[in-house]
Amino acid sequence: MAATPGFETRAVHAGASPDPTTGARQTPIFQTTSYVFDDVDHAASLFNLQTFGYIYSRLTNPTVAVLEERVAALEGGRGGTATASGHAAQILALFPLMEPGADFVAATKLYGGSITQFGRTFKKFDWRCTFADFDDPEAVRKAIGPKTKAVFCESLANPGGVVHDLQRIAEIAHGAGIPLIVDNTMATPYLMQPIAHGADLVVHSTTKFLSGHGHAVGGMVVDSGKFDWTKSGKFPTLSEPEPAYHGLKFAETFGDLAFTVHGHAVGLRDLGACQSPMNAFLTLAGIETLALRMDRHCANALAVAQFLEKHPAVSWVSYAGLPSSKYAALAKRYLPKGAGAVFTFGVKGGYEAGVRLVESVQLLSHLANIGDTRSLVIHPASTTHRQLTPEQLKAAGAGPDVVRISVGIETVADIIADLDQALAKSVKKAA
């Protein structure tokens, strides 16, 4: 076997060797809250982070640990922290970096739920978010101030087939002494590995393509292990003594493991947003077929996008895999295996036509998720992005005529036929 096994091999095997006790080949679901200590000294060593082992499933769990290693291996990271959801992953990723009064710079083109979490809910922690147009890397540079702790964007932005120049943005972040955090949910590590392009932390909603079957909510934070948390003095949580661990300094003690150790020992311990072993098991099973599914997702998405682009009831299609996309060149560079399976298009007839389309589909499911084996469709302005102001809707690529589709792995002709009949209905009633 090669020194670094291939992606598909890692997707099936990483983190999961046969169970030592039983020989079970599939990863067991360790449905337990806690783990016995050998004796008091063993317990003390575990609580002091001085040895490897399990204490309590809010911090670590053997099934969840397999998922963490699996996703870290696929992303080319040093380690990972699994969380209850993608939103929890975003909090866990920022928690060691932020402090009251600090800010981070995020892209305007993000999943609507992230815009709300960053722009509104984080204000309760006095974490401030500055939104910038990441299509213009200079705008990112200008948005970084003295209290900025991180730069955040999506590798393939939800909802609209947007690809940023990650390498330039990583250079800008590193020039300011701060890490780049990339949400890789929509691309998955099969299509793109942000760490290879300079990202320091990668976050996921594993709910989407990783679990892949619409059956398990979860999230992940992956640390590259490459960022030096001690250099700038901006990250005292990791570089300075931690009173709750007898003055231990995470960066000094754990080196490139520090971020992930902190993610469990402090992040999950105190924020509590751990992933359940059952969800980790389902997500692991999903990841085993990630490469196969993503190839079909992308092929179907391209065919659907080409169909929509020619359809008279469709005014525009924003899919980075189409030559007409303004992101086509970036997609070719960053996503050579495919531009993902989630994109947006505009219906003639605006808000009303969009609503009628999503209510007319018969095979596609009208729901608020992406990355399922099933094809899914939603009208963001009336659902996922409805918390946003009209200006934010426009900036996020979720205007009134926008429909978002997550193309599944059904027979592509059936997906196209269903869209065709639903588009016919949207036009008729609009007229």
Partner 1 sequence: MLGAARRIQGAWRSESEHASPRGARFPTRAGRDATGAGTPMDHASYSDEYLRAILQRVKCFAMVGASTDWNKPSYFAMKYLQKKGYRVIPVNPKAAEAGEEILGERAYPDLKSVPGRFDMVDVFRNSAAAGPITDEAIALAPEKGIGVVWMQLGVSNPEAAARAEAAGLQVVMNRCPKIEYGRLFGELSWGGFNSGIISSKRRPVRRPVAGGNDA
Query: Where on the chain is the footprint of partner 1 (CB under 8 A)?
Result: 1, 3-5, 9-10, 13-15, 17-21, 23, 25, 38-39, 41-42, 45, 48, 50-54, 60, 62, 64-66, 68-69, 72-73, 77-82, 246-248, 252-253, 255, 257, 260-261, 263-264
Structure token pair of residue 405: 């589709």
Q: Write down the least CB distance from residue 275 to partner 1, Å.
A: 11
* Cβ closest to partner 1, residue 275 vs residue 300: 275
Beta strands in 245-375 (DSSP E): 314-318, 342-347, 365-366
CB of 365 to partner 1, least distance (A): 33
| Min separation Cβ 42 and partner 1, Å | 6
Q: How far does Cα 2 stand from its chain's mean position?
A: 29
**Is the preceding omega at residue 179 within 30 degrees of 0, hence cis?**
no
The nearest distance, CB 215 to partner 1, in angstroms, is: 22
Residue 137 or 189: the one with the smaller Cβ distance to partner 1 is 189
Cα–Cα dist 1/161, whole Å: 36
- Residue placing its CB nearer to partner 1 in the complex, 46 or 186: 46
Type and span of the H or E element at 261 = helix 258-262
**Do the Cβ atoms of 153 and 143 come closer than 8 Å?**
no
Question: Where does 314-383 have alpha helices with state H?
Answer: 328-334, 350-360
Which lies closer to partner 1 via its Cβ, residue 164 or residue 264? 264
What is the total residue count of the chain? 431
Token pair belonging to 129: 């978010």
CB nearer to partner 1: pick between 73 and 182: 73
Q: How far is the CB of 79 from partner 1 (least distance, A)?
A: 4
Q: How far is the CB of 208 from partner 1 (least distance, A)?
A: 20
Q: CB of 86: closest distance to partner 1 in angstroms?
A: 17
Q: How far is the CB of 103 from partner 1 (least distance, A)?
A: 28
Of 38 and 270, which has the nearer Cβ to partner 1?
38
* CA–CA distance, 363 with 417 (Å, rounded to integer): 9
Nearer to partner 1, 5 or 236 (CB): 5
What CA–CA distance (Å, rounded) separates 118 from 184?
Answer: 17
Instruction: Identify any residues that bridge with 180 across adjacent strands, giving them in sequence order.
Output: 151
**Nearest Cα to Cα of residue 182 among 245, 110, 237:** 110
Nearer to partner 1, 188 or 260 (CB): 260
CA distances from 244 to 35, 383, 393 (A): 22, 42, 43
Asked if 282 contacts 215 with a C-beta cutoff of 8 angstroms, the reply is yes
CB of 263 closer than 8 Å to CB of 97: no
